[in-house]
Amino acid sequence: MRRILAAVAVLATFAASSACTSGKAKDEPAGTKVDVGVIAIVDVAPIYLGKEKGFFRKRGIDLNLVQEQGGGPIVKGVLAGKYPFGFANVTSLMAAQADGAPLKGVASGVASTGRAGRDFSAIVVKDDSGIRTPKDLVGKTIAVNTLKNIGDTTVRQSVRKAGGDPRNLKFEAMPFPTMNGALRNGKVDAIWVVEPQLSEAVVAGAQVLASNFVDTAPGLTVALYFTSDDTIAKSPALVAGFTEAIKESLRYAETHPEEVRDVVGTYTPINDTVRIGMILPNWPQDINRASLDKVAQLGREDGIFKKPPALDQLLP
């Protein structure tokens, strides 16, 4: 009888333990819910992979990725407390920091390949447009995702490098996914796009005019993951965990390009031709400070920054 009671007790304990474990896996949150502002472009593939692979979950972060049109809205979202973390291009961050915004980069976001004609960013025109060099863009209308940002700054640099006057360009803001249609319909003369919209444009017959990131600086650091000073002060352990997770995600993306191609299709619609043909960016751990000095210089020349950004305060 004692043996039967002992067996029943063991089974009951095992069942209770299994129920608790099962309940936790299915019903309980992975940890602290964290909203992150991102853009539906190839640049952020690592953070989507990191979520899929559990890099954030194992650090107690229940990641929720929220798509915005560009870096500017994401910066505003982080400053307003909408997002603890965000992904934004370096011009957006420099402009905000120069205006006194309490922001801090936590990790590199994405970088140019440095190869002209084989970068994940480009200025694109219709094949029959008559625009043959960036100099021909003078007086033309170019689509960018947000105004007074890294798009128009680097497009201006391509025009400047080709001998054109970068002051006489017209920029129109629109979401990346709508740019190809606007180009084909003649609403704009050129578009600045990144992947996967770059490959979509090329597949549709458009031509790459210039690699604007390559024209700006070798190995350009294009964007950062960042947070606010307030989040750093109130949640240092969360910031440390997020930083570790995003760095692990960047390393994984660098060594698993096919998984990158697959994950992009989970957050923005692409066909197989585009998925296979996309030019992937670099996701280095290190931030290219010299390239950011160049962007800061160009931003001052273009009147984007009211005063020089303090990069030492902004960078991790």
Under CATH, which architecture does the 121-216 domain have?
3-Layer(aba) Sandwich (3.40)
* Maximum C-alpha span of the chain: 96
Q: What is the pLDDT, as a whole number, of residue 306?
A: 81
Residues near 230 by beta carbon (within 8 Å), at least 6 away in sequence: 81, 102
Query: Are the C-beta atoms of residues 95 and 299 closer than 8 Å to each other?
Result: yes
Q: Is 234 exposed, middle or buried (0-12, 13-18, 19+ CB in 10 A)?
A: exposed
Per-domain residue ranges for the chain? 31-114+219-314, 121-216
Q: How far, in Å, CA of 265 to CA of 261, rounded?
A: 7
Contacts of 163 (CB under 8 A, 6+ apart): 135
pLDDT in tens, 181-229: 999 999 999 999 999 999 999 999 999 999 999 999 999 999 999 999 9
Task: Give the pLDDT confidence of 284-309 residue by residue, as tens digits.
Answer: 999 999 999 999 999 999 998 888 89
Decide whether 31-114+219-314 matches 121-216 in CATH topology: yes
Picking from 303, 253, 284, 241, the residue whose alpha carbon sits closest to that of residue 98 is: 303
Superfamily name and number for 31-114+219-314: Periplasmic binding protein-like II (3.40.190.10)
Residue 168 near residue 189, CB atoms below 8 Å: no
Written as tens digits, the pLDDT of the chain (316 aa) is 333 333 333 333 333 333 333 333 333 345 899 999 999 999 999 999 999 999 999 999 999 999 999 999 999 999 999 999 999 999 999 999 999 999 999 999 999 999 999 999 999 999 999 999 999 999 999 999 999 999 999 999 999 999 999 999 999 999 999 999 999 999 999 999 999 999 999 999 999 999 999 999 999 999 999 999 999 999 999 999 999 999 999 999 999 999 999 999 999 999 999 999 999 999 999 999 999 999 999 999 999 888 889 999 999 9
